[in-house]
């Protein structure tokens, strides 16, 4: 089950982003740059008392007539976030007091049927009578907080986790049978649902469809060549011309929730449109979460006859998805079924690579040979010495290497060692995590 989602909503300038920053302990409410993968940052992971949830920041909700296009799109984004949320934080401004816009938003939230916590922001030093008027919204007792000073934040976090759905224990039967969970990811209209239908419609016996834990997603168990899989379809987002940006914006949130629950991410690209910035963002979630990944260039039947089309697209993927250089690429057509059988073969293979364990003796033999081929780096008269390594995890494969000084591990040598492990143990399709520690 994916982490619950908590959305922050309210009218403009009530302190939503300041609250987001305080709860996530960051200084960037919307955008954060990550080396290798730059993406819009509309959410962040939060952990409190052992419970984890995804916090979403939204733009200010404008009510009434006379909204311009940007305001309409901002409101659309906030509504999509509310639809995604398991819990809503409705932020009001203690200093400004209760105004008609707050009442309008409260009416909207009551219709959403989502649990709501009323947050009275900017309440530093405020007495109870200064925010008691918000009881009139009919959303229960306000939780007073000061995002600037941190007052009341612990109480708010306690209230949040008390409202979240109970966490579920792992399904031991699923683990025992090694069911592979596949998340089909991509922008709207790239052919995700068609690809899912193509997978489920050939040489497969569907066990049973059941509602997924993520809204607008469907978990479908099926059997392929005697092995059990569950496919997570993240489709269901309808594109409307005026709301296109909002929907594209929040498709990353849907992708992130699906990635949390999968073993293999199938990133679907549209061959007729090429690679878009949103594709890179969604790919980044799978990579950073350590999921095995397969890239599928769908709708290939529409462009394959164009001279040089494949070479141009391959080059674009090489540059823009360089962090997924380990992911196999398939050119397919969900419409004709071309490449679908090969896709499942590839998914099965990368899932096995993702869970591969190697023996310590063979691992250290590979590390010794790697040092023989390329000398470890020097710095100021000191040379890196690799003593031994051991595997510390799977899904993805993770290795701990003991050295004389971790600061001597140059980025290029780290990449060289990773590539050496990939060649030796066939880690195609999966990230490989390497960490270095000083011996003793």
pLDDT for residue 132:
84
For residues 40 and 157, membership in a common domain is answered with yes
Domain that holds residue 154: 5-163
Question: Model-level pTM?
Answer: 0.62
For residues 142 and 179, membership in a common domain is answered with no
For residues 350 and 369, membership in a common domain is answered with no
For residues 128 and 58, membership in a common domain is answered with yes
The total of other beta-carbon atoms located within 10 Å of residue 49's CB is 8
For residues 24 and 129, membership in a common domain is answered with yes
Q: What angle do CA 320, 3, 356 make, to 5 degrees?
A: 60
Report the CATH number that the domain containing residue 410 is assigned in CATH: 3.30.300.20
CA 430, CA 426: separation in Å to the nearest integer?
9
Q: Which of 330, 354, 378 is the last residue before a domain boundary?
A: 354
Report the CATH number that the domain containing residue 150 is assigned in CATH: 3.40.50.300
For residues 216 and 250, membership in a common domain is answered with yes
The answer to whether the beta carbons of residues 121 and 94 sit under 8 Å apart is yes
pLDDT per residue as tens digits for the range 392-415? 999 999 999 999 999 999 999 999
**For strand 116-121 and strand 386-393, is the pairing parallel, antiparallel, or unpaired?**
unpaired
- Name the stretches of the chain with pLDDT < 70: 1-2, 26-43, 64-78, 80-81, 167-177, 202-219, 233-255, 440
Q: Which of 320, 354, 388 is the last residue before a domain boundary?
A: 354
For residues 301 and 426, membership in a common domain is answered with no
**In sequence order, which residues have a C-beta less than 8 Å from that of residue 413 and are 6 or more positions away?**
374, 376, 377, 384
Domains contained in the chain, number: 3
For residues 250 and 203, membership in a common domain is answered with yes
Q: Which of 143, 163, 183 is the last residue before a domain boundary?
A: 163
**In sequence order, which residues have a C-beta less than 8 Å from that of residue 289 and are 6 or more positions away?**
259, 260
For residues 262 and 247, membership in a common domain is answered with yes
For residues 243 and 302, membership in a common domain is answered with yes
For residues 413 and 366, membership in a common domain is answered with yes
pLDDT for residue 212:
34
For residues 133 and 276, membership in a common domain is answered with no
pLDDT for residue 234:
65
């Amino acid at each position: 089950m994916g982490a619950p989602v908590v959305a922050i909503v309210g009218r403009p300038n009530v302190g939503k982003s300041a609250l987001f920053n305080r709860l996530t302990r960051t200084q960037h409410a919307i955008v954060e740059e990550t080396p290798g993968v730059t993406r819009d940052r509309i959410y962040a992971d939060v952990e409190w008392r052992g419970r984890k949830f995804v916090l979403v920041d939204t733009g200010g909700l404008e009510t009434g007539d006379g909204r311009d296009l940007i305001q309409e799109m901002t409101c659309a984004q906030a509504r999509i976030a509310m639809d995604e949320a398991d819990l809503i934080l409705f932020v009001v401004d203690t200093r400004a007091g209760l105004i008609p816009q707050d009442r309008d938003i409260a009416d909207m939230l009551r219709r959403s049927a989502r649990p709501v916590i009323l947050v009275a922001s900017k309440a530093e030093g405020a007495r109870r009578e200064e925010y008691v008027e918000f009881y009139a919204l009919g959303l229960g007792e306000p939780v007073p907080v000061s995002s600037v000073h941190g007052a009341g934040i612990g109480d708010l976090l306690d209230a949040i986790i008390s409202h979240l759905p109970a966490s579920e224990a792992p399904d031991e039967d699923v683990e025992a049978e090694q069911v592979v969970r596949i998340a089909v990811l991509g922008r709207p209209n790239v052919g995700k649902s068609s690809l899912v239908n193509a997978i489920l419609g050939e040489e497969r016996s569907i066990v049973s469809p059941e509602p997924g834990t993520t809204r607008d997603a469907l978990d479908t168990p099926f059997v392929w060549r005697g092995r059990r899989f569950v496919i997570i379809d993240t489709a269901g987002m309808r594109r409307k011309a005026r709301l296109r940006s909002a929907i594209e914006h929040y498709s990353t949130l849907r992708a992130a929730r699906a990635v949390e629950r999968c073993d293999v991410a199938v990133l679907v690209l549209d061959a007729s449109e090429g690679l878009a910035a949103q594709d890179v963002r969604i790919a980044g979630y799978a990579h950073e979460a350590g999921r095995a990944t397969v890239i599928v260039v769908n709708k290939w039947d529409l462009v394959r006859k164009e001279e040089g089309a494949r070479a141009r697209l391959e080059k674009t993927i090489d540059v823009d998805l360089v962090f997924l250089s380990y992911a196999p690429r398939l050119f397919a057509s969900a419409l004709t079924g071309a490449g679908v059988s090969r896709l499942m073969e590839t998914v099965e293979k990368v899932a096995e690579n993702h869970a591969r364990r190697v023996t310590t003796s063979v691992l250290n033999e590979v590390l010794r040979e790697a040092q023989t081929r390329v000398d470890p780096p020097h710095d100021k008269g000191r040379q890196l010495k690799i003593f031994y390594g051991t595997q510390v995890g799977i899904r993805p494969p993770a290795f701990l290497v003991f050295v004389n000084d971790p600061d001597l591990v140059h980025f290029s040598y780290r990449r060289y060692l990773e590539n050496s492990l990939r060649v030796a143990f066939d880690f195609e399709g999966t990230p490989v995590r390497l960490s270095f520690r000083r011996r003793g």
